[in-house]
Structure 1
């Protein structure tokens, strides 16, 4: 196990953002996404443990360092499932 650690949101950041956007009833702003990211519970895990979390979830979470950009991509796909 190396020194590289990965911030891992639990529950996933993408699920949290989706739930918050649905509750709001409109698109989240960049500021809202960044605030939610910063206030959401997270753990720091080694890559092997992060991979196990992603495997249990069945998907990879968005990168917290690119939360806004990744959320813009993810939300299009996730909201298409609402139709």
Structure 2
């Protein structure tokens, strides 16, 4: 049995970063700034899981979480998707 390589591991915010940001935005009462989104990402509780577990978590939730490397752009896209879904 081969040990997992680091390439098979994914840093995963718990709970999903998109939920964290939605709650922060609701508390603030206005859209988050890029600095606020990055700060929330940087302070989020995360765990490292295998790619298989990460993919299963996203599938069970019904959507993919935000890309941590491109969090601002992904957040803007997620907000637009949420706004469309509410219509």
Q: TM-score, length-normalised on structure 2?
A: 0.85
1:34 aligns with 2:38: yes
- Segments of 4+ in structure 1 off by > 3 A? 79-83
Unaligned runs of 5+ in 2: none
- Find the aligned partners of 1:42 and 1:3 in 2 and give their Cα distance: 16
User: Would you say the 8 A contact 1:7–1:43 is kept in 2?
Assistant: yes
Report SS of the residue matched to 1:32: helix
Q: TM-score, length-normalised on structure 1?
A: 0.88
- Find the aligned partners of 1:82 and 1:63 in 2 and give their Cα distance: 23
Structure showing greater relative contact order (alpha-carbon pairs closer than 8 Å, 6 or more residues apart): 1
- Find the aligned partners of 2:49 and 2:56 in 1 and give their Cα distance: 10
Unaligned runs of 5+ in 1: none
Q: Give the aligned length.
A: 83
**Could you say which structure has the larger radius of gyration?**
2
1:52 corresponds to which residue?
Answer: 56
1:73 aligns with 2:80: no
Shift in Å, 1:55: 1.6
RMSD: 1.4
